[in-house]
Structure 1
């Protein structure tokens, strides 16, 4: 089988959904499983709904109405006078969302987040599957929660590979085009879990691994993997081919085209990954597979904005040794802080983190009881892989803003004030 993944930008409106169908007709959809994200900015809208549920419940009802209107308008544009049956399916899902809020007793934010945000993928795939059948592309809707089995680490769940492989092989049709959701799974109690933001790419890789797929193709609004985000960096170039190892390195440092978890299962079975444009489906795009590290071999630029730099030193000027550092990492883990860069000296320890779950103040309160703490919020973390003299000159031009710099043989990273 081939695994296709379409992200939110590719299905942001009715024209996007129609284009997905055109892509499938152009490249073929025999023996194909399609993984789809939530439509456009739906995940962001659902995150607002979660926040309203906890903090401003009077605003909740209006936001849910807008959510239903957005999807119903897409259905109307797709199907016109024949839209009513699909609108009713959308309404059923919206009612399930309302029912969750009415009956939920849990106060765990991450648990509520996963139950709510997952409706983005359920809505998008319900609409897309119905539309494909409407235009005579025979497809079958599959609930990914019956296949992707995880632990209960909500918002960033860990996969149970054995249970997942068994469920996928039991649930996936081998004769029809299958449409399923990215990003979501379920725990042993059948509560919905999510795999972390941008987890739809990972979902595609999970299905590919379990099904021994021929390939995975991620369809995006860019021609392939570029050597930098064109919205941030000038004169970016298309990378024709990347090795698994290099792609994993780029993903680890924050390249947004490929999710960090996506590549490991594909590498284990040597399943090639293609990143191609849904605007130009006949373009070659980028291949991630065995072979050359990078083609062409050029510097790759990565920006992670809105980071937090934390500098720690002991209160009594003693060395920052293993006991101190291990305690810091335990606290970072407990606070669900993603560590993106570390540096230590004899009496200090610096760490650049992503305050993804807004638990910084909770963490700092504990750290300040044990260490001298300096904090820089809203900083940018730049990474350059395969840097050359030109890249180094561009870094030096910002030296007055650099808070922290770290250089290895192939990679240079620096934290910059905004």
Structure 2
């Protein structure tokens, strides 16, 4: 039993969908679950749609029309028969999206986000499942929301593992080929939830865990896990082997190749993870397994942009001690703000934060009641795992450094 995951870049157009077919033919497609993201930049467009929908007087229907046209062009390239049932299925999904917007009574952004953005995956998997059937690769389309059950923390739902495992194992999907959506699940009331941005990798990990899969393969537009993002750094090298622990560290610090939550369910059952190129599917790529050393052993560079550096000091110059730190973290949890770096002294406390839910203003208002607060927005957090002095020197060149921190294996720097 294997699980594959194809991201949006791999199915951004008709050629990408055709390439999925080629990958499956080359690597085999029996006893396989394929998890697919929304096509291309569809998720971004749907996020824009939600924002416009909630903006009074804004016209959002042209965005839906653009998205429908984008997917229709892909369909018309893939299917010569314009009366094929897939055209009606996709059209119905767009109609369902508009009906959802029309009937919605909620003003809660996160809830509306999940109900609408999830259509990206539903549409992409419908197209791909129908195309594979059309090309002779018989498969079953699965609605992930019927299997991955979560709480109602919209946009960052937590998986109910017991119920999810029961539902996946009740469905006999170990034979043949199944196509399902990444990123989405549903709560106890069957409202759609999402697992966090880029959560399709996590979906693959969930299915693999529940099915006791032999492996998970994530198909990317890069050769595998590189020691740096080639869009940011000039010279990069392929990491042939890394351990679960190293993959978790890299993902936590912001490496974009693997979703941070993906590794945990895999390592619990020691299921190997492979990160491979969908352009060269027979190349080995990167393997992630238990206990294997980093190979080659060299510095790994990670950058997270659009971060916030917040520095706190007590108003009466008293020490920032455990009860104050506890209160700060309670607020961070309340406002769903992720901490990427901490540094403290006797009377100051600095944090580099990721505010993906846009709750910074509310947090700052609360903090200013008890602390003197200074902050910088739009900063970048650079991390080097397995740093060398040469690597640090190269990274710091021409940077306006606001904070830096060094531990045994990790160097971090905040700059603007």
TM-score, length of structure 2 as denominator length:
0.98
Whether the aligned pair in 2 keeps the contact of 1:142 and 1:172 (CA below 8 Å) is: no
Matches within 5 A, 1:61-72: 61-72=61-72
2:112 paired residue number: 112
Whether the aligned pair in 2 keeps the contact of 1:253 and 1:302 (CA below 8 Å) is: yes
1:286 paired residue number: 286
CA distance in 1, matches of 2:232, 2:64: 34
DSSP-derived class of the 2:228 partner:
coil
The Cα of 1:57 is off from its aligned counterpart by 4.8
CA distance in 2, matches of 1:181, 1:200: 8
The Cα of 1:81 is off from its aligned counterpart by 2.8
Whether the aligned pair in 2 keeps the contact of 1:150 and 1:187 (CA below 8 Å) is: yes
The 3 A distance-change label for structure 1 pair 83 and 336 is farther
CA distance in 2, matches of 1:82, 1:140: 22
The Cα of 1:141 is off from its aligned counterpart by 0.1
Unpaired segments of 5 or more residues in structure 2?
none
The 3 A distance-change label for structure 1 pair 71 and 56 is farther
2:384 paired residue number: 384
Matches within 5 A, 1:18-33: 18-33=18-33
Whether the aligned pair in 2 keeps the contact of 1:76 and 1:83 (CA below 8 Å) is: no
2:158 paired residue number: 158
2:141 paired residue number: 141
The Cα of 1:73 is off from its aligned counterpart by 1.1
CA distance in 2, matches of 1:151, 1:398: 46
CA distance in 1, matches of 2:256, 2:390: 23
CA distance in 1, matches of 2:319, 2:291: 45
DSSP-derived class of the 2:54 partner:
helix
1:412 paired residue number: 411
Q: How many residues align structurally?
A: 416
Whether the aligned pair in 2 keeps the contact of 1:226 and 1:238 (CA below 8 Å) is: yes
DSSP-derived class of the 1:86 partner:
helix
Whether the aligned pair in 1 keeps the contact of 2:168 and 2:211 (CA below 8 Å) is: yes
Matches within 5 A, 1:10-409: 10-82=10-82, 84-398=84-398, 401-409=400-408
The Cα of 1:319 is off from its aligned counterpart by 0.8
Unpaired segments of 5 or more residues in structure 1?
none
The 3 A distance-change label for structure 1 pair 172 and 403 is farther
The Cα of 1:358 is off from its aligned counterpart by 1.1
Whether the aligned pair in 1 keeps the contact of 2:32 and 2:175 (CA below 8 Å) is: no
CA distance in 1, matches of 2:313, 2:172: 54
How large is the RMSD of aligned CA atoms in angstroms? 1.1
CA distance in 2, matches of 1:202, 1:211: 14
TM-score, length of structure 1 as denominator length:
0.98
Whether the aligned pair in 2 keeps the contact of 1:406 and 1:413 (CA below 8 Å) is: yes
